Structure 1
Amino acid sequence: MLPRPPRSSEPTAAEASAWADVLVRRRLVHAAVLAPTGQWLIQDQPDGPVRVLIGPADVVTLTATIQHHTRTLRPENR
């Protein structure tokens, strides 16, 4: 796999919100909520602990990590 070029700008709140929605709809996380402070509250499982992500860049990083993990576990990638 080729490495991606670095981003030319920081992720926006709208981008983070879109990715958070995808993570929840695909059931890759249980909940993702934007707090009034701009932080994101992420819960992987209904009874699991809540993680606090500092801002949009952390949500995009989490999404990339989940995507990478999901893709490397597919049978055709082994």
Structure 2
Amino acid sequence: MIPRPPRSSEPTVAEADAWADVLVRRELLHAVVLTPTGQWLVQDRPDGPVLVLASPADVLALAATIQQRTRSTRPESR
């Protein structure tokens, strides 16, 4: 895998919100909610525990982890 260059800026709330929307629509997470304090509440299934993420960067890190896990469990299509 080719390493990505470091980001030139911190992830924004809008970017994290967009990833959260995709993860919920694709049913990779059950719910992601931004609180008024700027924290994110994440639940992977309806009856699962709620994870509290502190920042948009944490949401993007979770999205990257889910994406990596999804790609590593998918059979090769070649």
Interval of TM-score (by shorter of Structure 1 and Structure 2): over 0.9
For residues 45-75 of structure 1, what are the alpha-carbon distances to aligned partners after superposition, in whole Å with 9 as ceiling and x for unaligned? 1000000000100000000000011011111
Say yes or no: does 1:58 pair with 2:58.
yes
Alignment of 1:18-57 (within 5 A): 18-57=18-57
What residue number does 1:12 align with? 12
Structure 1 Cα separation of the partners of residues 67 and 55 of structure 2 = 19
Residue aligning to 1:3: 3
How many residues align structurally? Answer: 77
What's the % identity of the aligned pairs? 74
The answer for unaligned runs of 5 or more in structure 2 is none
Q: CA RMSD in A?
A: 1.0
Letter in 2 for 1:55: S
- Cα-to-partner distance string for 1:1-50 (whole Å, 9 max, x where unaligned): 11111111100000000000000000000000000000000000100000
**Structure 2 length as normaliser, TM-score?**
0.95
